[in-house]
Amino acid sequence: MFGFLSAAALAATSAVTPAQCSLELVVLGAGQDAGAPQLGNADDEGPKLLPTSIGVIDRDARQRFLFEATPAVTEQIHALDRIAAPEPATQGGLGLDGVFLTHAHIGHYLGLTHFGFEAASAKQQRVYAMPRMAAFLRNNGPWRQLVEFNNIEIVELADQKITPLGDSLGVVPMIVPHRDEYSETVGFVLKTSGKSALFVPDLDSWEEWEEQSGDTLEALVGRIDYAFVDATFYDNNELPGRDMTVIPHPRVTGTMDLLQDLPEGQRAKVHFIHYNHTNPIRDPASNESAEVERRGFNIARRGDRVCLD
C-alpha cells in the first residue's frame, strides 16, 4: 500500500501545485516551543514565530491530521480550516481525525488544554502518542481530566510500527535521543502511496541517533522525499556568554556539513524547522538564510505547502 518515489519520479511531479493535491502537508508553525516574541523579550521586532506544527490533509478520504498540539493550537487549527474546511462529522468535533505528539515538552503538547471543557470541550478527540507519553497524559493533571471527561481518546503508538490512517496514508514513529524527563521522544515518517516525509523537530544530535539506530542521516534522507528537521540553533555562536557545546540540538551548520556531499536533489529535500527566536534563519532576509539556500537546503516557513501524492 505504501511506497517511495524515485528521484526521477519526484522531479516529474515537482510542478504539482498544492491546489491539485489530494494529500498535502502544511507548515503551521516553524519556531521553537515558545515561538517569538518570547516572554521577557518585549522589544523583539523580528518576524513572528508560531511553535512548530504541521498539518496533513487527505482530501480523498476527507481527513485532516495535526502533528503537535502547540500553545498556538487555536490559531494553527484555524489556519488549517482556511486551507481545507473540516467535514461536519469529523471525529472529535474540531475538524481533526487525529493529533500526533512527539514528546512532552511545552511547545509540543501544551495545546491539548484547549481541547478541555473550559475551551473547545472536544468529544473523544483521537490523540496518538507513544507509551510513556500516553501514561504521562493519563496520570497527571490537567491532562488526566481530558481523558476522564472523554475530551481526548489516546491511541498508543509503537516504535517503527506503521499506523494506517486510510488507504493512502500511514505514520511510522521513530525513537530519537532527546531530554526525556516525562516521555520518550519520536520523529515521524509519513508514508503515502506516492511520497514520504520525515518530521523530526527535536533531537539531541544526529550522531547519537545514528549510534542508537544503526542508520545514517544520509541514508534516511535518501529514502524520503521531504525532511523537516531540527534547526533550533544555527551555530555555536548564537548565545553570547553561554557555552553552547553543552546545549543539545544539531546545529543548522552541522546538519548541512553532514549532508553537503549529497547530490543537489537530495540536499533540496531538507527543510529546517523548529528554530529558536535567537536563530538568524528566523529572518528570511538574513545572511544565514541566504547561506542555507546557497548550500542547497531549505528553511520551513509558516504557510509552506507540499504535495504528498
Q: Dump pLDDT digits (tens) for 135-194.
A: 999 999 999 999 999 999 999 999 999 999 989 999 999 999 999 899 999 999 999 988
Kindly list the structural domains of the chain, giving each domain's residue range(s) and its CATH number in brackets, ordered by start. Answer: 7-35+46-307 (3.60.15.10)
With cell 517569538, the residue in question is 36
Measured distance CA(240)–CA(243) in Å, rounded: 8
Q: Are strands 53-58 and 63-67 parallel, antiparallel or unpaired?
A: antiparallel
pLDDT digits (tens, 9 = 90+) for 230-272: 999 999 999 888 887 878 899 999 999 999 999 999 999 999 9
Question: Taking the model in full, what pTM does it have?
Answer: 0.92
Q: What are the pLDDT digits (tens) for 103-120? A: 999 999 999 999 999 999
Q: Which of 198, 205, 213, 211 is nearest to 270 (CA)?
A: 198
Confidence of residue 87 (pLDDT cuts 50, 70, 90): low
CA Rg value for the chain:
18
Beta-strand (E) ranges in 88-168? 98-100, 125-129, 152-156, 163-164
Q: What residues contact 185, with CB distance under 8 A and at least 6 apart?
A: 102, 103, 175, 176, 177, 178, 179, 202, 203
The per-residue pLDDT for range 36-64, each reduced to its tens digit, is: 999 999 999 999 999 999 999 999 999 99
64 neighbors 51 (Cβ within 8 angstroms) = no
Q: How far apart are CA 303 and CA 234, in angstroms?
A: 22
pLDDT (0 to 100) of residue 8 = 32
- Residue 86 near residue 94, CB atoms below 8 Å: yes
Residue 9: what pLDDT? 35
For 182: left if phi > 0, alpha if psi spans -120 to 50, otherwise beta; the answer is alpha
pLDDT for 280 equals 97
68 vs 20, 34, 71, 87, 177, CA distance in Å? 25, 13, 10, 21, 18
Beta strands 152-156 and 125-129 are parallel
